């Protein structure tokens, strides 16, 4: 587990790595990713290189899902709240903090209409939309979808049959590059 001071960047590294699929954070180069290698199935356990991890696949997946859930924010913040704060952050379900970059918050403020500044939007939560097709990502909150669209220079986002907005993985990756602390991934 990372310290709370680096949890925000760790959250993005892990989430962004999951989003890219087959990529994991490189501990040697913070914020960079290297191809995942050495994970093989051998007799119901996950093997890393020559050593075996004493974990069944199901337990491994459950652990990963729990880790992602622990990094989700307990609440959202508005642009106004983030701009006023000396140390902009929100608590996470796992007891840590998701920290916001001042630069990302200021960039978002310049892209989002002023009438959305008081709405708790951040971090924007991106959920898997694989049931809609490969590479689809769902944004369940209408205000978050509008903010995402404006920040990405889009007029609007398409909707799922259930009425949620969706976008594509490539746009979420671009969003995370532009605004690294303003989004999280959910499962």
Q: Where are the domains of the chain?
A: 7-70, 79-88+97-186
Give the residue ranges of DSSP H helices in 29-117: 57-70, 79-84, 102-111
Look at residue 50 and tell me whether its pLDDT is greater than 90.
no
Write the pLDDT tens digit of every residue in 141-157. Answer: 999 999 999 999 999 99
How large is the average pLDDT for residues 70-74? Answer: 83
Pairing relationship of beta strands 124-128 and 136-139 according to DSSP bridges: antiparallel
Pairing relationship of beta strands 124-128 and 165-168 according to DSSP bridges: unpaired
More confident position, 54 or 96: 96
Q: Cα(47)–Cα(62) distance, rounded to whole angstroms?
A: 17
How large is the average pLDDT for residues 9-38? Answer: 38
- 131 and 156 Cβ atoms separated by less than 8 Å: no
Q: Cα(69)–Cα(61) distance, rounded to whole angstroms?
A: 12
pLDDT for the residue 84: 96
* Residue 121: DSSP 8-state: -
Q: Cα(138)–Cα(29) distance, rounded to whole angstroms?
A: 30
Write the pLDDT tens digit of every residue in 171-181. Answer: 999 999 999 99
> Which of the four pLDDT bands, split at 50, 70 and 90, describes residue 94?
confident
**What are the angstrom distances between the C-alpha of 131 and each of 6, 62, 114, 128, 135?**
33, 20, 34, 8, 10
- 8 and 99 Cβ atoms separated by less than 8 Å: yes
Nearest to 125 by CA among 137, 112, 107, 108: 137
pTM over 0.85: no
């Amino acid at each position: 587990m990372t310290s709370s001071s680096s949890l925000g960047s760790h959250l993005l590294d892990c989430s962004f790595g999951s989003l890219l699929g087959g990529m994991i954070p490189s501990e040697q180069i913070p914020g960079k990713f290297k191809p995942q290698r050495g994970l093989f199935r051998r007799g119901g356990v996950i093997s890393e290189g020559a050593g075996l991890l004493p974990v069944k696949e199901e337990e491994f997946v459950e652990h990963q899902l729990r880790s992602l859930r622990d990094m989700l924010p307990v609440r959202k913040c508005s642009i106004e709240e983030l701009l006023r704060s000396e140390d902009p952050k929100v608590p996470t379900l796992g007891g840590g903090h998701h920290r916001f970059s001042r630069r990302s918050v200021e960039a978002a403020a310049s892209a989002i209409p002023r009438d959305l500044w008081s709405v708790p939007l951040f971090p924007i939560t991106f959920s898997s939309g694989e049931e809609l097709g490969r590479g689809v990502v769902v944004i369940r909150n209408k205000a978050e979808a509008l903010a995402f669209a404006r920040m990405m220079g889009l007029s609007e986002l398409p909707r799922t049959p259930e009425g949620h907005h969706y976008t594509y993985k490539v746009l979420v990756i671009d969003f995370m590059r532009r605004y690294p602390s303003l989004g999280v991934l959910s499962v």
